[in-house]
Structure formats: C-alpha cells, structure tokens
Structure 1
Amino acid sequence: MLVRRNLSLSVIFHYTWKSMTYYLLLAITVYLLHDYFGVWSLHMSFTTISALSTALAIFLGFKTSNAYERWWEARKIWGLLVNYSRAWTREVITMIIPATPPDAPAVKELQYRLVYRHIAFVHALRVFLRKQHVYNQLGVEEIYEEPNEYSDTRDFLSPDEYEVYTHKNNPPNYLLELQGEDLRTAYEQGWLSDYRFVRLEETLIEFNNIQGRSERIKNTPFPRQFSFFSRVFVFIHASLLPFVFVEELRWASIPISLLISFVFLCLDLIGERSEDPFENRIEDVPMTALSLTIETNLKEQWGDPNFPARKNAPGGIVL
C-alpha cells in the first residue's frame, strides 16, 4: 500500500507512458494534417466530445467507487483478523486451565502450539491470497508471479506439521483444522469447560469467516465488462480530442488534448489498480505489514521478545 502522500513521477510514468505516447503522436499527426496539409474535414464539434466526456466521467466514477468498495472491504476483513487474533491469544492463555497441577506443563505446551500455529495461519493466509512481486528502488514492480513461499511459517510449526501443511490444497484451512483438534484434546482432558470450549470454537469460526470473505474477493474479479469498456471508452475519448480542438486551438490542441486524456486515463487506472486488493501491488492491502503486526502482538502477549523486523519496499510502499 502506498503511504507516501505524493506519487513519484517515475511511478506515474511507468503506468501511463504507453498510452500517453500514442495520444501525443495522434495529436501531432492531426495538427500537421490540419494545418500543413489542409485536411479540414478532420474537425469535429465540441458538442460531440462534451456529451461523451460527461458519460465517460459518470462511468469512470461508478467504476472507481465500486473498486474502492472492494479495497475497503478487504482492509476491514484484515482489520478483523488483527482484532480476533489478539482475542484468540488472550482466550487461549486465560481459558485453557490445567485440571491438576501435573497438567500444567502439558497445558503450557498446548497453549504455545495454539498461539504460534495461529501466527503461521496468518502468514499462510497472506501467501495463499496474493502473488509475490519484487519492487525496484523506484517502487515499481519488476517481477510478477513468483511462486508462493510458505517459508515464513516454518518457525511456528513442528517439522511434521510444516511438511504436511505445505502440500495441502488449502494450507490455511488445514491449520484451522489442527487448531480445532487441539481444542478437542483440551476439552477431553478437562482443561476446557463446555462454555469455554464453545467460546474458543466461535473465535476459530471467525477465522474461517475471515478466510472465506478474503477468498470471495480474491476469486471473484471485478466484473470484466466494466474494466474492458472503461479502457475502450477512454481510448475512444482521447482519440477524438485532437479532432475537436485542432480547429480552434491549432498547435495548442496538442498539450490541451494530452492534459484531458491524462485526466481520464488516471481515473481509469485508479479504478483498475484498486479493484483487486490481494494481488500484492503497490496499491493493495498491506497484508505483510498486518501479518507482522499480528505476529508482534501475539508474541508480546505470550511473553516472547523476539519481534519480527518490518519489511517495506522502496518508494513509500508498505507491503
């Protein structure tokens, strides 16, 4: 997620240079044909472009608004994950109680597994949802779709659990299954009462809900017709602008048409870059930062001072 207030020119250029190069060449060509070759029929009326501009602005506003709704819902889902993760650790520590003094070491070991396995779940869910990208020093994506790596979870699981879960079709869901099995063990040992068992199970269900809601956004793309036609309409609109301005503005039609084209192009890109919030792009939900926040909070609750280091990309980007 971009946290710097201003976008660097390099990032803007990276995403717009191809389209803007076409618009520039088109505007120059129309101007030369009109003023130097006498092709007067190239002129179009302002009424045509005004109607199209109004319709396009409404369409792009609708697209951008709905794309932001998807992004904001994704952020709220991961905000819930932060809250329930803290609650889960507190419940594990305070509600799982040894039935007899000799049970204390076993209970402590069980609590440790439940807390640290949940940290593994959070990291696994992050990797499961997103592709891994690499950013250069300007904050621009260089490498796309690296293989998902679950190595961040190795330290939080036993070797046997790690070996099994990395070969699962849905690794985060498998970890939740292991959590449920440990809760059942605690209940059978008398370390959990009926009420406390139900309460912990309800929190575990919330993690299922969080994962399911995240997968719904990930696996249900923004309607492709909106993305496709917005690109088409922006292209048509920008292609017509030089024909509208060349009669009245002459050479000034080149920068004016470029400026207007740039505005509509940016509006389209804002929606396009916000519509899929789990792709690990520079505009997406900062799941790495949130995962490390959860890991830090849970370790602090457990009493572990070995907090993770922050991982930020260059250019004011929080991953």
Structure 2
Amino acid sequence: MHIGKNLGLKKVLIWSKRDIVIFIIIATIPTATYEIFHFPWLALPWLPMALIGTAVAIIIGFQDNATYDRFWEARKIYGSIVNSSRIWGMLVKTYISNSQTQQSLSNSELDVIHRRLIYRHIAWLTALRHQLRQPREWETKNKKYNIENVEHFIVPEHQISLAEDITPYLSADDKEYILRKKNRAAHIINVQSEDLKNLLNKGLIENFRYIELQRILSDFYEHQGKCERIKNFPYPRQFATLNLYFVWIFIILLPFGMLPEFEKLGHHITWFTIPFCVIVSWIFRTMDKIGESTENPFQAGSNDIPITSLSRTIEIDLLEVLNETDIPKPIEAANDILM
C-alpha cells in the first residue's frame, strides 16, 4: 500500500510511460497523414466520438467503483482480523487461569498454555498471508508497468518459505501435521480447537469460556473465508477484458474525431491534435489501469492491503500480552510502499 502524501508525477509517468509512447504514435500517424497528404476523408464527425467517449467513461467509472469495493472489503476484513486477534489474546490470558480452572496450575504451566495458543495464532496469521500472496493467473502484478512500479521493495512471503516462517510458532508435531495439508491456515484453527477441547476435558477451562473461545475461532474461520473469496474469485473477466477493448477503440479513433475540430481554428492548428489526443488518451487509460491495479488487493502490489504489516502489528500486540521481551519491530515502508 502506498503511504506517501501523494504518488508523485515521476512515479505516475514511470507507471504509464509505455502507454504515452503508444498514444503519441496513434495520434501522430493520422495527424501527419491528414496534414501532409491532405486526406479529408480521415476526419470523422465529433458526435459519434463523443458518444463513444461518454460510454467508455461510464464503463470505467463502474469498474473503478466495483474494484474499490473489493479493495475496501479486503481492508475491513483484515481490520476484523486485527480486532479478533487482540480479543483472542485477551481471552486466552483471562479465561485460562487458576481462578477459572478445576485444578491449580503453576504460573509456568499457565504460561506454557498461553504461549502455545497465542503462538499458534501467530502461525495462523503467517500461513494465511502466505496463502493470500500466492499468485493467480488473472492477477496483474507481473505486468511490466507494475513490476517497474514496485521494483524497490521486497515481498517477504516470496523470500522465505512458509515452513521456515512458522517454525518459531509451532511445535514439531504441529508443524509436521500442518505442512501435510493443502489449506494450512484452516488446519491451524482445527488444531487450536482440538487444544481447547483437551483443556476443557482436563478441567482447565469452564464450559462457558470454552464456548466463547471457540466462537472466536469461528470468527477466524469466517475472516479467512472472506479473504479467500476475494483472492480466489476474480473481478469478472468479461468486464475487465471488454472494458480494455472499449478504451483502446476510443483511443485509436480519437485523433480522427479531433482533426476537424482543430482544423476549424486554422490549418496548422491541426497539429495540436497530437498533444490533446495524448492527454485525453492518458486520462482514459490511466483511469482504466487504476481499476485494474485495485481489483486484486492481496497480490502484493503497491496499491494492495498491507497484510504483512498488519500481521506484524498483531504479532507485536500478542507478544506484549505474553510479556515477552524479544519483540520484532514494526514493518517499515520502503519507497513509500508498505507491505
């Protein structure tokens, strides 16, 4: 996610430089042909161009609104994960204590239980973000203009394996079990649920508090399912693909419609068709690319949800609940981009 005050003109031009070159070529060829060879039949009436432009603008507006809804829903889901995780840490500490158990445990024994449940939750956060960072065929992060836009930062989930990343938070048996599964995050919640059931059977937690902790685990399942829905269900391809075709049809026809309009101002004024076509084309294409860059909020792009940073924030909060001293630092932005 970009957290700077603004994107900066340089970054915007780097992001769209290839398009600008194409726009110049598209505008120059018909304009030069019209001026040099005097082909009046190249000029198109402006009315159909205005109708096409209006239709394309409406379609792009619809797309940008729909993709922003996907982005904002993803942010709200991760906000819920943050809140539920803090509640989990609080309830584990307060519900599993000597005042609530049928047998007395030493502080060190309680600390082991607290640490196991909270560390396992951090492992769930780790597994979830690794799953959400896995690429999908329809995602646009690997397009050249997006690669250039994010080349100055590193995606942690692409630099370290899940097995290595969850090692500090799981026992050897839990890790071996989890890595055998396809949906690792979901099975970590299953292990948490089994652990709570064992604590209930041993009389280390009351039934009411057991139900409340299981409800929080159900919330985690729901949050994960919502994230997977956005990750695994793309913005409808008929909208994304046809919108792109419509934009380029308008861009290609645009200089033919502008030629007679500028000729009305004077013969040599027709050359102004080129810069004005480039400006209008750039606006329409950039609006289309804004929607494209927003439709996949978990693909590790510069405009995505910073799930790595949010997960680190949760980890810090939970480790402080355990009163640990070896606490990692918050994720810092690189080149104004927060992962």
What is the TM-score when the length of structure 1 is the normalising length? 0.93
Structure 2 partner of 1:220:
233
Q: Could you report, residue by residue, the CA deviation over 1:152-210 in whole angstroms, capped at 9, with x for unpaired residues?
A: 22211123322332332011111111101110111011111110110000001000000
Structure 2 partner of 1:27:
27
- After superposition, the Cα gap between the structure-2 partners of 1:73 and 1:42, relative to the gap in structure 1 and judged at 3 Å, is same
Pick one of 115, 127, 130 that aligns with 2:130: 127
- After superposition, the Cα gap between the structure-2 partners of 1:272 and 1:51, relative to the gap in structure 1 and judged at 3 Å, is same
1:72 aligns with 2:84: no
AA at the equivalent of 1:13: L
- After superposition, the Cα gap between the structure-2 partners of 1:18 and 1:138, relative to the gap in structure 1 and judged at 3 Å, is closer
Partner SS state of residue 101, structure 1: coil
| Gap regions ≥5 residues in structure 1 | none
Per mean C-alpha deviation after superposition, the further-off stretch among 180-189 and 125-134 is 125-134
AA at the equivalent of 1:251: W
Deviation at 1:120, TM superposition (A): 1.1
Q: In the alignment, is the contact (CA less than 8 A) between 1:139 and 1:313 conserved in 2?
A: no
How far apart are the structure 1 equivalents of 2:87 and 2:124? 15
- After superposition, the Cα gap between the structure-2 partners of 1:300 and 1:136, relative to the gap in structure 1 and judged at 3 Å, is farther
1:88 aligns with 2:85: no
Pick one of 195, 199, 215 that aligns with 1:202: 215
Q: In the alignment, is the contact (CA less than 8 A) between 1:96 and 1:107 conserved in 2?
A: yes
Deviation at 1:91, TM superposition (A): 0.5
1:106 aligns with 2:109: yes
Task: Note the 1:92-241 alignment, pairs <5 A.
Answer: 92-98=92-98, 99-102=102-105, 104-131=107-134, 139-140=150-151, 146=158, 149-150=161-162, 151-241=164-254
How far apart are the structure 1 equivalents of 2:105 and 2:38? 98
How far apart are the structure 2 equivalents of 1:282 and 1:221? 18
Deviation at 1:44, TM superposition (A): 0.9
Structure 2 partner of 1:311:
331
How far apart are the structure 1 equivalents of 2:28 and 2:235? 36
Structure 2 partner of 1:267:
287
Q: Could you report, residue by residue, the CA deviation over 1:126-151 in whole angstroms, capped at 9, with x for unpaired residues?
A: 11111388998964479999487213
Q: In the alignment, is the contact (CA less than 8 A) between 1:49 and 1:241 conserved in 2?
A: yes
Per mean C-alpha deviation after superposition, the further-off stretch among 126-135 and 116-125 is 126-135
Deviation at 1:301, TM superposition (A): 1.2
Structure 1 partner of 2:261:
248
Q: In the alignment, is the contact (CA less than 8 A) between 1:11 and 1:139 conserved in 2?
A: no
What is the TM-score when the length of structure 2 is the normalising length? 0.88
Pick one of 289, 293, 310 that aligns with 2:313: 293
How far apart are the structure 2 equivalents of 1:217 and 1:299? 29
Deviation at 1:278, TM superposition (A): 0.9
Deviation at 1:116, TM superposition (A): 0.8
Q: In the alignment, is the contact (CA less than 8 A) between 1:2 and 1:317 conserved in 2?
A: yes
Q: In the alignment, is the contact (CA less than 8 A) between 2:14 and 2:148 conserved in 1?
A: no
Deviation at 1:102, TM superposition (A): 4.1
How far apart are the structure 1 equivalents of 2:242 and 2:327? 47
Q: In the alignment, is the contact (CA less than 8 A) between 1:136 and 1:314 conserved in 2?
A: no
How far apart are the structure 2 equivalents of 1:21 and 1:161? 55
AA at the equivalent of 2:64: T
Name the Cα RMSD after superposition.
Answer: 2.3
Q: Could you report, residue by residue, the CA deviation over 1:203-238 in whole angstroms, capped at 9, with x for unpaired residues?
A: 010000000111011111000011101111110111
Q: In the alignment, is the contact (CA less than 8 A) between 1:14 and 1:140 conserved in 2?
A: no
Aligned length in residues: 319
- After superposition, the Cα gap between the structure-2 partners of 1:102 and 1:278, relative to the gap in structure 1 and judged at 3 Å, is closer
| Gap regions ≥5 residues in structure 2 | 136-140, 263-269
Q: In the alignment, is the contact (CA less than 8 A) between 1:117 and 1:157 conserved in 2?
A: yes
Structure 1 partner of 2:138:
none
Deviation at 1:97, TM superposition (A): 2.5
How far apart are the structure 2 equivalents of 1:118 and 1:237? 51
Q: Could you report, residue by residue, the CA deviation over 1:249-284 in whole angstroms, capped at 9, with x for unpaired residues?
A: 211000100000011111101111111111111111
Q: Could you report, residue by residue, the CA deviation over 1:270-314 in whole angstroms, capped at 9, with x for unpaired residues?
A: 111111111111111110010000001111111113222233453
